[in-house]
Amino acid sequence: MIRQQLLRLFSQSLRFTRRTMLYASLVLLVVIFVPLIVVSSRWLHATRIDLTTDQLYTLTPGTLHIVDTLQRPLRLTLYFSDHATRDLPQLRSYEQRVNEMLQEIVARSHGRIRLQVIDPVPYSDDEASAEGGGLTAANGGSNGERVFFGLVGSAMAGGADGDSTEDRVPDRTLAIPFFDPAREAFLEYDIAKLLYELNQVNKPSIGVISSLPVAGNPALGQPAWTVLQQLDQLFDVKMLDASTLQHVDDSTKVLLLIHPKQLSLDAQYAIDQYVLRGGHLAVFVDPDAELDTTPFAADSATFPDHSSDLPRLFAAWGVLYDPHKVVLDRTLALPIELAGSSFNHPAMLALGAQELNRNEAITASLQRINVSTIGYFDLAPDAHTRLVPLLQSSADAEVVPTQRVLDASNDPTTLLQGYRPDNAHYVLAARLRGTFGSAFPERARQPGHLAHSAPNAEVLLVADTDLLSDRLWVEPQTLLGQTMMQVFANNGDFVTNLVDNLSGSSALLSIRGRSTSQHPFTRVQALRNVADQKFLQKEQELEQELAETRRRLDELQPAKGSAGSTATAEQRQEIEQFRQRQLAINKELRDVQHQLNAEIDALGLRVKVLNIVLVPILVVLIGLLYGWRRSRHSRQRR
């Protein structure tokens, strides 16, 4: 009896001890894992795996280099009108993509970048802050509200070591006015460019060598060209004298060489070595620079030579360019007025979206660039470089001698006589990439001479200088006594983007356009195409029969009108039969379209059932099967 009581007490104490140990273990797990989760979310945030097909959320090495080399703390503020975009799912999805990329950059910065997300509701201080930061509001939000979706970045001035980033005064503020989903391929580039510019203390230095009066003439009251005025607002622009140029300083972020004519060998060598040292060069040449004021040449019997070329350097880089050939394109001909008449000028081209490279940051967001008497580039057969087109002609282009264009200056329509398109897309402006060799091997013994560039060197080439002139993209207008420039083409944006792109670091230049997060349903589209083809033949047959019926009716109606009441019964019966057939064909066409729509709707229904019903059921069945097998295995082990 006593033994049974002792055993009972022992078993109860044992159960109590196990219960106590279980509770103690649960408490210990909570004590250990809660801090562990908090610490991991704070310090291991950047440890993530990108399983997307195109690595959309993996930062490129160029962005990582820019973030890792930040010299001062940055504060980023993402403004997104959450309430106003509740009916805009595409924009909300893109905002998530932008937010996640910013979070990835912040995690990489190790505290150097702070991010804040704000919903600028109407008539609030946040809305005023967004406008003051340089953001642009878009219309079309819910209830007519304005939509803000942009990024404001501030470089913080140095403060005491104990000061937080929020307590410091912004030293410089820049913004991405609006995240356009059409530029999603350049999202990382735009953000990295903002970070790079915020990290710069001074404006980048730009050198300009030009034989055209781009800087104007203050003594004569001639202002600088508008494109140069725009550049001067963003960069430290310095005009260089080609006649005395012997060296281009490495502090020059970009060198613009505009209409090079009769450059000395020393100047060409200075440009050659600047490129080989990694300098960023943009060359503007032209088969006929219309603003060139050079007088008649001694060897020219008709017109002065207003062409420009860089033959020695082009040959060393593997570039083919003929300064005496102009690209005509009747499809892109620009409408002009001459002597009171209006016509399209085939040597003056309006390059539209189809002629601009949408995969390049320089031209991705541009809509129209006007050019005049433009040349073209190609590569030599033995070239070790490659051309990446920025501007191209249409396939309806033809190349003609420059002299022919000059002869037709009084009547450009004569250029269309005997027009024969070459069925080729001529490269009008391009990036030239690769390893460049020196054009001056004979100077190899000079101190500091470089024979080759780095493997990823690049030069930008443009076969026209007239696109820089005001007449092709801006028009002065007087408003309230002040002269303002009305922009009608993107020439200025093209040059600004070009310089802006080149003035960045090599890391920034290495960031190219990427894939977008919006992927089409290729299988659904293929099935839709099959459904289209299924009814296309029937629809075409009915359309042909309907056209024939209408033709017969048109033939009979005049006979009826001329005969009037004397029309025979057979004619009236035939007319009525054709009318009935016309109505029947129209009904059959509607039935065919309804069947097509029904096929597409059925396809959509099948896809929805597959995704919403069958896949979850399959997952549940797999889970039940797995659980049943585990329980069965456990029972067998017992």
Q: How far is CA 333 from CA 107, 413, 475, in A?
A: 51, 11, 20
The identity of residue 417, as a single letter, is Q
* Length of the chain, in residues: 638
Question: Tokens 């913004």 map to which residue?
Answer: 175
Q: Which residue has the tokens 């260089």?
A: 240
pLDDT digits (tens, 9 = 90+) for 99-132: 999 999 999 888 899 999 999 988 889 999 999 9
Distance separating alpha carbons of residues 197 and 499, to the nearest angstrom: 13
> Which sign, positive or negative, has the C-alpha torsion 176, 180, 183, 188?
positive
Q: What is the DSSP letter of 63?
A: H
pLDDT in tens, 531-564: 556 555 666 666 676 677 667 666 665 544 444 4
**How do 252-258 and 280-284 pair as beta strands?**
parallel
How far does CA 258 lie from the centroid of its chain?
26
Q: Which of 179-188, 245-254, 380-389, 599-608 has the least mean pLDDT?
A: 599-608
Instruction: At 373, list the tokens.
Output: 């008497």
Position with higher pLDDT, 302 vs 362: 362
Give 331-375 as a DSSP string: GGEEEEEETTEEEEEEEEEEE-GGGB-TTSTTTTT---EEEES--
Distance between CA 393 and CA 38 in Å, rounded? 58
Instruction: Name the nearest CA neighbour of 109 among 78, 79, 77, 69.
Output: 69
Query: Which contacts of 342-345 are long-range, i.e. CB under 8 A and separated by 24 or more positions?
Result: 343/412, 343/413, 345/412
Residue 534: closest CA among 491, 452, 484, 598:
598
When mean pLDDT is compared across 162-171, 480-489, 497-506, 566-575, the lowest value belongs to 162-171
Residue range 13-49, pLDDT digits in tens? 555 566 676 666 767 766 676 676 666 555 554 455 6
Q: Looking at residue 159, what is its pLDDT?
A: 47
Please, which pLDDT band fits residue 439 given cuts at 50, 70 and 90?
very high
Q: Which residue has the higher pLDDT, 121 or 274?
A: 274
User: For the ranges 102-116, 161-175, 232-246, 278-292, which has the lowest average pLDDT?
Assistant: 161-175
CA-based angle 405:409:415, to the nearest 5?
Answer: 50
The stretch 436-445 carries a mean pLDDT of 95
For 217, the 3-state DSSP assignment is strand
Would you call 174 helix, strand, or coil by DSSP?
A: strand
Tell the burial category of 79 from Cβ atoms under 10 Å away from its Cβ (0-12, 13-18, 19+). buried
506/516 Cα distance (integer angstroms)? 24
Arithmetic mean of pLDDT, 141-163:
77
Residue 522: helix, strand or coil by DSSP?
helix
Select from 462, 544, 561, 540 the least CA-distant residue to 502: 462
DSSP assignment of 3-41: HHHHHHHHHHHHHHHHHHHHHHHHHHHHHHHHHHHHHHH
CA angle, 170 then 173 then 174, to 5°: 160
SS3 content of the chain, % helix, strand, coil (to 5): 45, 20, 35
- Cα distances (Å, whole numbers) of residue 198 to 70, 130, 164, 175: 9, 18, 19, 10
pLDDT tens string 208-232: 999 999 999 877 788 999 999 989 9
Q: Quick one: pLDDT at residue 615?
A: 73
The dihedral over CA atoms of 44, 46, 51, 52, expressed in degrees to the nearest 10, equals 150
What is the torsion angle, in degrees rounded to the nearest 10, for the CA atoms of residue 277, residue 278, residue 280 and residue 284? 60
